[in-house]
């Protein structure tokens, strides 16, 4: 554009130059000098005009050229798959969908109470986990959870940021909503063990940890939902654990994971919290211990204990019958995989001071069959007896996929 304008204006000047040259022979010296000054002024004005025209033109041409180059670069990256690949590398999606059908029969010890039967079909779990590598040493995790009759609408089950030290030191810090490090709760059954019911704790917390191939030590600080009467609402909750895993190759074909955990108030657990008022006389500490064994990925043993270290005040727990209670639970499971797609499991578990909230003793059998890849069909039967001698039979079937 600049070149076209220059040529155009030069052509505009050509007649004046020719005429001036033709008349120069008839002019005096003084007239010629005057004419040259006039032409010089005209040239100066034309150059100024060109500069004025070049200004806005130049400003529009360069960005247009830059934008075109950017569009071409984006098109090139899209064709090469560079942009999708970048996000695929950063994000990892996983999840679980579980559909369950169950039948429950309650046989009450009190002759005046009629026995009951119930059955239902539910979408027990619909979970989507998103893990993102934000930057080197920085990760993000979000878990969306739906449990019919439990979390409606969809609940943000977890959402936290983790920063690690990489190869420098095996240290990390995580902040957000998470399951604090109390308990292990490994199970081969559809139903959660009683230990999970009274121990699992989901809170917004800051967690600090040390982790390598054979040991993990971590602690989390949080503001629990159950306060001590008269205390201010503040960060006074703590949960910590030590977990040891046998390094690969230490014991051929044998896997071992064992650990201890502690929580400053077991009343903050998701299960007991619902059975307590918002404030209690004092916090009750909790203790957990577990051992998990696997042999040749064919035989499995799970053992765990979760319990309060002292008693709650009389009447604080909805099921304590007006007496001081010290909730405790234990679980033992044995599982055997006779063939690759089939697993059989046995459970024997119990509790103390849980009244009619959970069975005092419970045993059962589970059968898990892999229909297809990441698709399983499971059936379990549990028979439980409560402290008041009520009895329960529970049959559950589940179709589940993982991705």
Domain boundary among 80, 106, 141: 80
pLDDT at 15: 40
> Do 127 and 54 fall into the same domain?
no
CA dihedral 266→270→274→279, nearest 10 degrees, is 40
> Do 51 and 131 fall into the same domain?
no
- Does a structural domain hold residue 257? yes
pLDDT at 61: 41
> Do 28 and 128 fall into the same domain?
no
> Do 74 and 127 fall into the same domain?
no
pLDDT at 70: 56
> Do 29 and 162 fall into the same domain?
no
pLDDT at 248: 82
pLDDT in tens, 305-322: 999 999 999 999 999 999
Cross-strand partners of 392: 106, 384
Q: What is the 3-state secondary structure (H, E, C) of the chain?
A: CHHHHHHHHHHHHHHHHHHHHHHHHHCCHHHHHHHHHHHHHHHHHHHHHHHHHHHHHHHHHHHHHHHHHHHHHHHHHHHHCHHHHHHHHHEEEEEEEEEEEEEEEEECCCCCCCCEEEEEEEEEEEEEEEEEEEECCEEEEEEEEEECCCEEEEEEEEEEEEEECCCCCCEEEEEEEEECCCCCCCCCCCCCCHHHHHHCCEEEEEEEEEECCCEEEEEEEECCCCEECCCCCCCCEEEEEEEEECCCCCCCCEEEEEEEEEECCHHHCHHHHCCCCCEECCCCCEEEEEEEEEECCCEEEEEEEEEECCCECCCCCCCCCCCCECCEEEEEEEEEEEECCEEEEEEEEEEECCCCCCCCEEEEEEEEEEEECCEEEEEEEEEEECCCCCEEEEEEEEEEEEC
> Do 71 and 128 fall into the same domain?
no
Contact by Cβ (8 Å): 244, 166: no
- Does a structural domain hold residue 174? yes
In degrees rounded to 5, what are phi and psi of residue 157?
Answer: -70, -40
Residue 164 is part of which domain span? 123-360
- Does a structural domain hold residue 383? no
> Do 76 and 128 fall into the same domain?
no
pLDDT at 251: 87
> Do 170 and 294 fall into the same domain?
yes
pLDDT at 154: 82
Domain boundary among 345, 360, 375: 360
Contact by Cβ (8 Å): 239, 180: yes
When divided into structural domains, the chain yields a total of 2
> Do 73 and 181 fall into the same domain?
no
> Do 69 and 188 fall into the same domain?
no
> Do 289 and 185 fall into the same domain?
yes
- Does a structural domain hold residue 349? yes
The Cα-based distances of 209 to 132, 170, 244, 250, 269 in angstroms read 20, 8, 14, 24, 21
Q: 239: Cβ–Cβ under 8 A, 6 or more apart, which residues? A: 180, 181, 182, 201, 205, 219, 220, 222, 261, 262, 263, 264
pLDDT at 46: 59
> Do 70 and 128 fall into the same domain?
no
CATH number at residue 156: 2.40.160.10
Which tokens in the block code for residue 18?
């020719």
Which tokens in the block code for residue 49?
């005009």
pLDDT at 34: 60
- Does a structural domain hold residue 85? no
In degrees rounded to 5, what are phi and psi of residue 83?
Answer: -70, -50
| Regions in the chain scoring below 50 on pLDDT | 1-26, 29, 54, 56-65, 67
- Does a structural domain hold residue 371? no
- Rounded to 10°, the helix 29-80/82-90 angle is 50
Domain boundary among 55, 80, 105: 80
pLDDT at 373: 92
Contact by Cβ (8 Å): 294, 255: yes
- Does a structural domain hold residue 91? no
- Does a structural domain hold residue 287? yes
pLDDT at 38: 65
């Amino acid at each position: 554009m600049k070149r076209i304008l220059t040529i155009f204006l030069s052509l505009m000047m050509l007649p004046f130059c020719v005429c001036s040259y033709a008349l120069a022979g008839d002019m005096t010296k003084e007239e010629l000098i005057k004419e040259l000054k006039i032409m010089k002024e005209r040239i100066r004005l034309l150059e100024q005009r060109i500069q004025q025209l070049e200004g806005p033109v130049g400003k529009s041409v360069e960005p247009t050229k830059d934008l075109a180059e950017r569009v071409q670069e984006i098109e090139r990256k899209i064709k090469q798959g560079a942009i999708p690949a970048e996000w695929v590398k950063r994000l990892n999606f996983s999840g679980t969908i579980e559909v369950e059908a169950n039948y429950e029969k309650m046989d009450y010890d009190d002759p005046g109470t009629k026995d009951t039967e119930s059955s239902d079909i539910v979408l027990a779990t619909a979970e989507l986990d998103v893990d993102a590598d934000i930057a080197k040493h920085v990760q993000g995790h979000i878990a969306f959870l739906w449990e019919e009759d439990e979390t409606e609408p969809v609940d943000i089950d977890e959402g936290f940021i983790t920063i690690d030290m990489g190869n420098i030191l095996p240290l990390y810090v995580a902040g957000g909503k998470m399951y604090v490090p109390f308990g292990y709760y490994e199970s081969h059954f559809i139903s959660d063990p009683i230990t999970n019911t009274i121990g699992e704790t989901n809170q917004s917390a800051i967690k600090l940890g040390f982790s390598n191939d054979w040991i993990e030590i971590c602690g989390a600080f949080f503001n629990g939902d159950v306060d001590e009467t008269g205390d201010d609402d503040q960060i006074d909750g703590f949960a910590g654990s030590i977990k040891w895993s046998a390094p690969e190759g230490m014991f051929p074909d044998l896997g071992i994971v064992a650990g201890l955990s502690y929580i400053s108030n077991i009343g903050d657990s998701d299960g007991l919290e619902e059975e307590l008022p918002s404030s209690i006389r004092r916090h009750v500490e909790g203790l957990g211990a577990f051992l998990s064994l696997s042999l040749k990925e064919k035989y499995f043993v799970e053992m765990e204990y979760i319990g309060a270290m002292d008693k709650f005040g009389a009447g604080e727990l909805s099921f304590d019958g007006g007496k001081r209670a010290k909730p405790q639970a234990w679980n033992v499971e044995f599982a055997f995989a006779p063939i690759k797609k089939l697993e059989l499991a046995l459970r024997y578990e119990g509790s103390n001071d849980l009244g009619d909230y959970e069975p005092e003793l419970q045993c059962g059998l589970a059968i898990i069959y892999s229909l297809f890849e990441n698709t399983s069909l499971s059936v379990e039967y549990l028979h439980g007896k409560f402290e008041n001698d009520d009895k329960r039979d529970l049959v559950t079937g589940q179709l589940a996929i993982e991705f």
